[in-house]
Amino acid sequence: MGGLEPDQAAATSTDLDHSRSVVRRIYLGEALAAPEGWEHLRTVLRVEVETPRPRVTTSPPVVATQLDSRRTDRD
């Protein structure tokens, strides 16, 4: 079940936890093999919790200057 994509989750929720977004996904699958003593195991449940990092956006630096217009004219 580790190779499943997020859109294959049986259920998904997005919540706020201490002002941070938390995405939880539940995956359900059939038990293909069971450990000793767990022969009755039929269904496997996996819970995935994702806390996306906030995107940091940067903008190019702004340079402001005061040039004499006579110095910028090429005529």
Give 35's contacts (C-beta < 8 A, 6+ positions apart): 41
Residue 66 has pLDDT above 70, yes or no: no
Give 16's contacts (C-beta < 8 A, 6+ positions apart): 22
Q: What tokens does 34 get?
A: 């069971």
Find out whether 41 and 34 touch, Cβ atoms under 8 Å.
yes
Give the start-to-end residue ranges of the domains of the chain: 8-52
Query: Residues 18-48: pLDDT tens digits?
Result: 888 889 999 988 888 878 888 888 888 888 9
Q: What is the pLDDT of residue 64?
A: 46
Q: What is the pLDDT of residue 60?
A: 53
Residue 68 has pLDDT above 60, yes or no: no
Q: What is the pLDDT of residue 11?
A: 95
What number is the average pLDDT over the span 51-75?
56
